[in-house]
Structure 1
Amino acid sequence: MARVHILATGGTIAGRGSSDTSSSYRPGSVMIEQLIDSVPGLGALAEVTGEQFAQMSSQDMDEVVWQGLANRINKLFDADAADGVVVTHGTDTAEETGYFLHLTVTSDRPVVLTGSMRPATSLSADGPLNLYNAVSVAADRDARDRGVMLAINDDLHSARDVTKSSTTDVQTFISPGPGLLGTARLGRIRYFRRPKRLHTSQSSFSAFAQRRLPRVDILYSHAGMQPDLVRASVSLGVRGIVIAGVGNGNVPGPVVSALTDAVKAGVIVVRATRVGSGDVERGVELDDDALGFVVADQLNPQKSRILLQLCLAHELDRNAVQEAFFQY
């Protein structure tokens, strides 16, 4: 029987409300032992163990916890202490944690995130079934070498492609463009594809056990955006700026000038888009070669920030950073 270790970090899946119909609740209030006990049949799927790694709302997630998670997972796999790992997580930043692990876990063994949109005490709580399905994927040998995944609401997403699309809808997670990795329903798993970009055992990135990742800011583009936002970030010592641009990663003319000055000051500038899907291409409306910009390709701003942080931590130059956005 496969050995699956669950790392709990809190979130809505561990939330507790004042009643089963209350819309207000406290995330991260239910401990991992209670989560496991709430799911009948887990023992038939795998030899399941649990660990309360953190206890937080996912809006408080940060790079320090990401690094700790990646290093803990790598140690579990290096010691052959687990065949798969499940991470329970709040939905607000699950896609970011998932993508960081997608880049920094060094094993081809499955890592599966899951969470819920309703707290554990809610009427029709979705957490128990999501956890059941996540464990079934983590225990599946065919889940190997698919990178980090998110199993939620019977769907299976690649951490690279998934994003949250609704504030409250249970079917909030989507994978624009590439689509689902597969489905997982009551332990029945179907895979549709494998990720094409580099990940996990193929990745050259490390989580760094004790080094703080460089600061990278995301600036949201809009009509009338002012260039002083760029100058403020540079004055605060950022190493990188990700633009959540309009359309194909665009910003107003005065902001382009400020970003060009930032590049001259040694800041790496990545053009992503605030649009929900599509690629940001080089040289379409801006001369990226002349301006010294990097384009995000398919990554949304929040994931672009993570990849840029890791590139900067590994001291990649601008050309290598651009290549990383095309490879990962």
Structure 2
Amino acid sequence: MKNIVVLATGGTIAGVSTSSTDTTGYRSAILTVDDIISQISPLKTIANITSEQFVQLDSADMTHEVWLELARRISSLLEREEVDGVVVTHGTDTLEETAYFLNLVVNSEKPVVLVGAMRPSTSLSCDGPMNLYNAVILASSPQSWGKGVLVTLNDTIHCSREVTKTNTALQDTFKTPDVGNFGYVVDGTPYFYRMPIRKHTYMTSFPIEKIKELPQVDIIYGHVNDRGTLACAAAEAGAKGLVYAGLGNGNMSKHMKDVLGVIQKQGVIVVRSTRVGSGVVTRNGAVDDDQYRFIAADNLNPQKARILLMLALTQTASLEEIQAIFWEY
């Protein structure tokens, strides 16, 4: 059997409630990882598992500092010959962000799988145990090697770059809008239907060993009659980059073009993403990026565009180089 390390960070999968029918009013991050694993006896039949309670928090409280420490710990574990893969339990609210960050900084072909739950451990039909069972199966499977950081919930497999949470409460909340699921886990067997094309993990130019801290990058949400107040405040507060969650194809008003254009001239990198749930933000499409010197986010949603911009800024401030990074990752 493969040797899998489970790193726990809290979240709903470790949540408890006073009622078995309460699926929203629970307390997150209560159970320890050993409590969770002890409830899933079939795990011992599929892998040799060791576990660590890395942190214990609601994923809304995730920080850059925890990201950096988690990535370093995962990288250290995967360097060991006897470790075959890592599973990270995580709250679903920011799971996609942590997964994509790890996808960009963990330099290993070995499987890393993030997993969570939409219902607390005390609820009827709680989904955490099966989700974790499937995550260990994925981390143990030779098919998972070299595919980057994976996300699994509700019997589906997703690439961390494209997956996003789409519903506040339903168990099938995690979806990949543009290109569909990576695959499925059916009766203990993973089925993959495509390969990731963009650079990740073992192909990364952002190894965690070289990253000491992450620069401030903020997200500004586009809307009717946006006067640019928040964008200006972010720049004045020290933001090195801004991601604009624009309208449609990353569009914005003439006023916002001028505001962000001025901010860009002050040395703040501006990336155009979209508030729409899917689709590509094309360069020089809705906005003349060459004129305003903006970056197009491709099909990364705002929260993931923010992560890639932060990492890009650890290496360069060249607009041409940053745009190339967005086409490559």
Structure 2 length-normalised TM: 0.98
Unaligned runs of 5+ in 2: none
Which residue number corresponds to residue 18 of structure 1?
Answer: 18
8 Å CA contact retained: 1:67, 1:209? no
Output the CA distance in 2 between the equivalents of 1:298 and 1:249.
Answer: 10
Q: Mark the runs of 5 or more structure 1 residues left unpaired by the alignment.
A: none
1:239-318 aligned at under 5 Å gives the runs 239-318=240-319
Question: Which residue pairs with 2:116 in the alignment?
Answer: 115
* 1:192 counterpart = 2:189: no
| 1:230 equivalent in alignment to 2:236 | no
In structure 2, C-alpha distance between the alignment counterparts of 1:64 and 1:290, rounded to whole Å: 36
CA, structure 1 residues 319+210, in 2 after alignment: closer, same or farther (shift >3 Å)?
A: closer
- Greater displacement, 135-144 / 38-47: 38-47
Equivalent in the alignment of 1:6: 6
Deviates more, 1:149-158 or 1:34-43: 34-43
| Contact kept? 2:283, 2:296, Cα under 8 Å | yes
* Distance in 2 separating the partners of 1:316 and 1:80: 37
Give the conservation status (yes or no) of the 8 Å contact 2:119–2:128. Answer: yes
Percent identity over paired residues: 46
Structure 2 CA distance for aligned equivalents of residues 47 and 193 of structure 1: 28
Letter in 2 for 1:197: R
Which residue of 1 is the match for residue 42 of structure 2?
Answer: 41
Q: Do 1:129 and 1:186's aligned partners in 2 also have CA atoms closer than 8 Å?
A: no
Per-residue CA shift, 1:187-240, capped at 9, x if unaligned? 111111110100000011123577221000100001111122221111111000
Partner AA of 1:193 in structure 2: R
Query: Which deviations, in whole Å up to 9, do the C-alpha atoms of 1:38-74 show, x marking residues without a partner?
Result: 1121111111111000100001111111111111010
1:25 match: secondary structure: coil
Deviating above 3 A after TM superposition, structure 1's stretches of 4 or more consecutive aligned residues are none
TM-score by length of 1: 0.98
* Pairwise CA RMSD: 1.1
Match of 2:180 in 1: 179
> In the TM superposition, what are the counterparts of 1:211-226 in structure 2 within 5 Å?
211-226=212-227
* 1:235 partner letter: E
Q: In 2, Cα distance between the equivalents of 1:186 and 1:112?
A: 18
Aligned amino acid, residue 302 of structure 2 = P
User: What is the total number of aligned residue pairs between the two structures?
Assistant: 328
Task: Give, as a single letter, the amino acid of the residue that structure 1 aligns with 2:228.
Answer: P
Q: Is the 8 A contact 2:243 2:305 kept in 1?
A: yes
Distance in 1 of aligned mates of 2:210 and 2:187: 37
